[in-house]
Structure 1
Amino acid sequence: MHGPGWPVARSGEVIGLLGGSFDPAHAGHAHVTREALRLFGLDRVWWLVSPGNPLKKQGPAPLDRRLARAREVMDHPRAEVTALETALGTRYTADTIRALQRRYPGVRFVWLMGADNLASLHLWDDWQEIVNRVPVGVLARPGQRISARMSPAARLFARARLRGGAVRGLGRMPPPAWAFVNIPMRADNSSALRAAGEWTVSVPA
């Protein structure tokens, strides 16, 4: 029983999880989502719009405002914008994954991230548990390919990396399993949008 407002997923489905503050969401996030659906063989992607990033000192814009913007940006039949971390009462990725696996038994989750996040994954709370709990799909972003591939996480889990055609079956591989893919990237950047004063949404904040 998931209740009103909880996304529906059936046992055996492969769901990609894209977490972040989305402050603000932009076309680059939507582009990464579409590429993840295509490259990793996912059934759907859920955006996890976080209440706040524990690694950032300054808090993001109000959650309702970020959710509204994200739903404007991400218009795809197999993608859903959620505030699941707020509903679950979790702030750290490892806690969120544990909670989702309890609530959705039989669903296969894949954690999605940009290459910049792989480069700093070793700073995350319980980061090794994340990789040991769910497959991880890494999508390259400009300027981060080398640092990501040489990161502590990439080195420690080097033998778990999938290559070539195996990447398509990432979500059905037992963890630890991860894949690094290069995709045509957009230059959209949340920090730049905030600095330029382009943080807008068509509903009242």
Structure 2
Amino acid sequence: MNKIGLSKRKNMKIGLLGGSFNPAHEGHIYISEQALRLFGLDEIWWLVTPQNPLKKMKTNDTLIKRLNFAKKLVKNNKIRIDSVENKYKNNFTANTLKNIINRYKGTKFIWLMGADNLDEFHKWYQWQTIYSIIPIAVFDREYYSYSVFNSIAGKRYFNKLHKTKNSQSIFNSKLPSWRFLRIHKNSLSSTKIRNNKNYLKI
């Protein structure tokens, strides 16, 4: 089952990757598998949002279609897919994370995102709260390598950058703590796929 279970996962390390996933693609899988390896994670949860608060236009496809497409795409049983935000009737990451952390006490979570998201992170609702409640892993993305430390969030928390060789030690770091990972960049994006004339809607 891909769906996030109800049982508490005490002592597990879980990565949280949020987004519209419109559509989900190999780039999402690549980041997830890198995170599993680098941070020694037990699971990755894809948190498929009903609607990105920063985007005025509604997503092209319904939540159910996006969830179903993601579940068909993913073959790794360590990647679990659900729409927690829809259950909480909330579209804000900060609130979603508070709910998850409160519900799964004893579980170690890390927030995963691409460098393109960090560029606009200061526009997110309660973005500084997110830094204060969960460690963050920022993965390099094409065209965004140099904007990471020039972004408002990057500058604000530059002195909280986790620099030790052992990525997994971030779970023992005092918050706020974040890490920038210069992995092989995957140029795939949901926007590129949607703009492709051969793209078939799910």
TM-score (norm 1): 0.90
What's the counterpart of residue 182 of structure 1?
A: 182
Paired AA for residue 15 in structure 1: I
Partner in structure 2 of residue 102 of structure 1: 102
Structure 2 unaligned runs (5+)? none
1:11-90 matches, cutoff 5 A: 11-60=10-59, 61-90=61-90
Aligned length: 198
Q: Deviations over 1:30-83 (max 9, x none)?
A: 011001111122221100000100000111110010001111222212110111
Does the CA-based 8 Å contact 1:32-1:139 persist in structure 2?
Answer: yes
- Measure, in 2, the Cα distance between the counterparts of 1:194 and 1:188: 11
Identity of counterpart residues, as a percentage?
35
Looking at structure 1, the residues matched to 201 and 55 of structure 2 have their Cα atoms a distance apart, in angstroms, of: 22
Q: Cα gap change, 1:32/1:7 in structure 2, threshold over 3 Å: closer, same or farther?
A: farther
Aligned to 2:199: 198
RMSD, aligned α-carbons = 1.6
Bigger mean CA deviation after superposition, 100-109 or 8-17: 8-17
SS in 2 for 1:149: coil
List alignment gaps of at least 5 residues for structure 1: none
Change (3 A) 1:5 1:151: closer
More helix per residue: 1 or 2? 1
Cα distance between partner residues in 1 of 2:134 and 2:25: 26
**Distance in 1, Cα, partners of 2:105 & 2:20:** 26
Instruction: Report the CA distance between 1:128 and its aligned residue.
Output: 0.3
Once the two structures are TM-superposed, the CA of residue 186 in structure 1 deviates from its matched residue by 2.0
* C-alpha deviation, 1:139, in angstroms: 0.4
How far 1:195 sits from its partner (Å)?
Answer: 1.6
